[in-house]
Chains A and B, each alone.
Chain A
């Protein structure tokens, strides 16, 4: 089972602030993802990475950016937070080596509220 850590667990911040949501995994997984989920709604992929120095935008347009300088670390940054960014942000990782048996494991999430 993957160990994926997200911090902070909850964040309340004012409009216009720059924020970084942290995500780290200790399993050496190549692929990492960021999903956004509103209450009762489906998960939307906003960013993913196949490995170091690889980042791709997901299916849902997002004003956030990501970086992948180290295998274990995949932070997400919002340069200027707005109330429309209020949501739960879920980080996940998977192991490419598993091939068609690839499984996705999630961190505990960050609940972001922008006032």
Chain B
């Protein structure tokens, strides 16, 4: 069973701070990596995808990938209360099956 591990949190940060979310995965042949945001009672929403080592920035979000360490992270700059949600890490393997972590709950306090 391929595993995607995340700290369940909750991670609490003050408004305006940087939130750092981490994820590790067990399958070395994983090709694609994703971060989804899920508000309570809602479905996951794709916010970032990353395919190669390094950083990828999109607005206030930066995804970081290190395949050698099997580690992917998401940084949220200038955190807002509206960023409060559960963030799911997902991995796509060579067979194009998606595996999800259990998510990290983020609380941004005003």
Contact = CB atoms under 8 A, between A and B. Distances in A.
A3 interface: no
Contacts of A31: 96
Contacts of A42: 4, 88, 100-103
A78 interface: no
A43 B51 contact: no
Interface of B: 1, 4, 8, 31-32, 34, 41-46, 49, 51, 86, 88, 90, 92, 96-98, 100-103
Interface of A: 31, 33, 35, 40-43, 45, 48, 59, 90, 94, 96, 100-109, 111
A105 B8 CA distance: 23
B100 A43 contact: yes
A20 B10 CA distance: 35
Given A43-B44, A59-B1, A90-B43, A104 B51 contact: no
Shortest 4 CB-CB distances between A and B: which pairs?
A42-B102, A106-B43, A43-B100, A109-B43
A102 B46 contact: no
B48 to A, nearest CB: 11
Contacts of B43: 90, 106-109
